[in-house]
A and B are shown apart, each in its own frame.
Chain A
Amino acid sequence: DIQMTQSPSSLSASVGDRVTITCQASQDISNYLNWYQQKPGKAPKLLIYDASNLETGVPSRFSGSGSGTDFTFTISSLQPEDIATYYCQQYDNLRLFTFGPGTKVDIK
Chain B
Amino acid sequence: EVQLVQSGAEVKKPGESLKISCKGSGYSFTSYWIGWVRQMPGKGLEWMGIIYPGDSDTRYSPSFQGQVTISADKSISTAYLQWSSLKASDTAMYYCAATATASFDIWGQGTMVTVSS
Contact = CB atoms under 8 A, between A and B. Distances in A.
A101 B44 contact: yes
Nearest to B109: A43
A34 B110 CA distance: 20
B83 interface: no
Contacts, number: 63
Given A87-B44, A95-B50, A99-B47, A50 B110 contact: no
Given A1-B62, A95-B50, A95-B59, A46 B45 contact: no
What band does the interface of chain B fall in when counting residues whose beta carbon is under 8 Å from A? 20 to 34
Interface in A78-105: 85, 87, 89, 91, 94-102
B103 interface: yes
A34 B45 contact: no
A55 B107 CA distance: 14
B1 interface: no
Closest 3 CB pairs of A and B: A49-B103, A43-B107, A97-B47
Interface of B: 33, 35, 37, 44-47, 50, 59, 61-62, 95, 97, 101-105, 107-110
Interface of A: 1, 32, 34, 36, 38, 43-46, 49-50, 55, 85, 87, 89, 91, 94-102
